Amino acid sequence: MAGKVSSGGSGGPMTDPNVIPFIDILLVLLIIFMVTAPIPTVDIRVDLPPPNPVPIRLEGLNPTIVGIRETPTGMIIFVDEETVQLSEIGQVTLDHARRNNPALEFEDLYAEARIFVRADQTTAYANVVNVMSRLQEEGFAKVGIFSELAIEG
């Protein structure tokens, strides 16, 4: 009986592999990858309305509307119906904000001018966020979303 290996209850050595240390190593590696993996995020400041929203009174401020439309060839951006490129959006928006709000001083335009971004429901969310982010990077403090009720046909 020498040289026989048993795998049952006879008390001899077992030949089944011990997988518990292998599972422990895999769990530790999984935790390490979860902790060290970068999470891609874009920070957009959102001011939530109060529970009983009050309509915004612009009191002499005329908003500048930035429109986004998607076509099969790409994205088209409009500032008050003037077609612009994304790289030019800051300067063109500033010019329109100055024209729309002649009562504001030039130094106050970035802080006080209201910029509303408008897009239809078929526009990709990433494009809307990209335009809003670009406007905020240019220095506009009051960038919002122009909302319209969806018309169901």
Specify if 86 maps to a domain: yes
**Which CATH number fits the domain that encloses residue 139?**
3.30.420.270
| Residues contacting 19, CB < 8 A, separation 6+ | none
Specify if 55 maps to a domain: no
Strand order in the sheet with 74-79: 82-84, 74-79, 64-71, 114-119, 142-145
Specify if 151 maps to a domain: no
Task: Give the structural domain span for 75.
Answer: 64-145
Specify if 43 maps to a domain: no
Number of domains in the chain: 1
What does the block give as tokens for 12? 């001899």
> Alpha helices, DSSP H only, in the chain?
20-36, 89-100, 109-112, 125-138
Pairing of strands 74-79, 82-84: antiparallel
Mean pLDDT of 9-22: 75
Decide if pLDDT at 27 tops 90. Answer: yes
Specify if 19 maps to a domain: no
Decide if pLDDT at 15 tops 60. Answer: yes
Contacts 24+ apart (CB under 8 A), 79-82: none
- Average pLDDT along the chain: 80
Specify if 17 maps to a domain: no
Q: How confident is the model at residue 151 (pLDDT cuts 50, 70, 90)?
A: very low
What does the block give as tokens for 109? 């335009």
Mean pLDDT of 72-83: 87
The SS3 of residue 122 is coil
Specify if 27 maps to a domain: no
Specify if 130 maps to a domain: yes
